Chain A
Amino acid sequence: MPRTYLTRTAPDTGEVEHRRWMFRHPVVIRVTHWFNALCLLVLLMSGLQIFNAHPALYWGKVSTFDTPLLAMSQTEDDPPKGVTTVLGRTFDTTGWLGSSTGSDGEAADRGFPAWLTLPSDQDLTGGRSWHFFFAWAFVLNGALYLLYGLLSGQLRFRVIPQRDQVRHFGASVWEHLTLRFPQGDEAKRYNVIQKLTYAVVLFVLLPVQVLAGLAMSPAMDAAFPFLLTLFDGRQSARTVHFVVAALLVLFVLVHVALVVLSGFWNNMRGMLTGWFVIERKVEPAPAADGTGRAS
Chain B
Amino acid sequence: MTRPPSRRAILLGATAAAGTAMLGGCDRLGEAEWFRRTLKTGEDANLFVQRLLLTDRTLAPEFTEADISPWFKPNGTEDPPDKSYKALARRKFETYRLEVDGLVEDPLKLSLADLRKMPSRTQVTRHDCVEGWSAIGKWTGVPLADLLSQTRLKSQARYVVFHCADTMDQGDDTGTDADDADAATSGGNANPAMTKQTGGGEDKRDSGGQQAADTEPATEPVRYYESIDLVDAFHPQTILAYELNGKALPVANGAPLRLRVERNLGYKQAKYVMRIEVVESFADIGEGKGGYWEDQGYAWYAGI
Contact = CB atoms under 8 A, between A and B. Distances in A.
A50 B265 CA distance: 14
A125 B201 CA distance: 14
Interface in A200-220: 216-220
Most buried by B among A129, A216, A234: A129
A50 B132 contact: yes
Interface in B32-66: 36, 38-43, 45-46, 50, 53-54, 58-61, 63
Interface stretch (A22-30, A90-98, A131-139, A191-199): A131-139
B264 interface: yes
A156 interface: no
B126 interface: yes
B54 A61 contact: no
Given A132-B304, A136-B42, A218-B265, A126 B126 contact: no
Nearest to B68: A62
A54 interface: yes
Interface stretch (B156-164, B187-195, B217-225): B187-195
Given A222-B54, A222-B59, A62 B193 contact: no
Contacts of B262: 218, 222
B54 to A, nearest CB: 5
A109 interface: yes
A81 to B, nearest CB: 17
B131 A219 contact: no
A54 B126 CA distance: 17
A70 B240 CA distance: 35
Given A125-B298, A221-B61, A65 B71 contact: yes
Contact of B126 (A61, A131, A135): A61
A50 B40 CA distance: 16
A63 interface: yes
A157 interface: no
A134 B58 CA distance: 28
Nearest to A51: B132
A114 to B, nearest CB: 9
A115 interface: yes
A215 to B, nearest CB: 11
Most buried by B among A52, A119, A136, A219: A219
Contacts of A109: 192
Given A129-B39, A222-B58, A122 B193 contact: yes
A132 B53 contact: no
A4 to B, nearest CB: 26
Interface size on A, as a range, is 35 or more
A21 interface: no
Given A109-B192, A122-B195, A223-B50, A132 B131 contact: no
B41 A234 contact: no
A271 interface: no
Contacts of B131: 53-54, 124
B27 interface: yes
Interface string A208-250: 0000000011111111110010000011001000000000000
Interface in B252-275: 262-265
Contact of A218 (B45, B53, B60, B132): B60
B39 to A, nearest CB: 4
B60 to A, nearest CB: 4
Nearest to B26: A118
A167 B132 CA distance: 47
Contacts of A50: 132
Given A122-B195, A218-B303, A219-B50, A53 B27 contact: no
B296 A125 contact: yes
Interface string A82-120: 000000000000000000000000000100000100111
Interface in A9-65: 50-54, 56, 58, 61-63, 65
A281 interface: no
Contacts of A238: 132
Contact of B134 (A61, A118, A122, A130): A61
Nearest to B51: A219
A126 B134 contact: no
A129 B53 CA distance: 21
Contacts of A130: 30, 39
Contact of A228 (B23, B61, B296): B61
A176 interface: no
Given A132-B42, A216-B128, A234-B134, 14 more contacts: A61-B63, A63-B133, A119-B27, A120-B27, A125-B197, A125-B296, A128-B43, A132-B43, A132-B46, A218-B264, A218-B265, A220-B53, A221-B61, A235-B133
Counting from the closest, the 10 A-B pairs by CB-CB distance are A53-B193, A219-B303, A133-B42, A132-B42, A217-B304, A63-B133, A54-B132, A54-B131, A53-B131, A129-B39
30 contacts: A50-B132, A53-B130, A54-B193, A61-B63, A62-B133, A63-B73, A63-B133, A115-B23, A119-B26, A122-B195, A125-B296, A125-B298, A132-B42, A132-B45, A133-B41, A135-B42, A136-B42, A216-B128, A216-B304, A217-B50, A218-B263, A218-B264, A221-B61, A222-B54, A222-B61, A223-B58, A224-B53, A228-B61, A234-B126, A234-B134
Interface of B: 23, 26-27, 30, 36, 38-43, 45-46, 50, 53-54, 58-61, 63, 67, 69, 71, 73, 126, 128-136, 192-195, 197, 262-265, 293, 296-299, 303-304
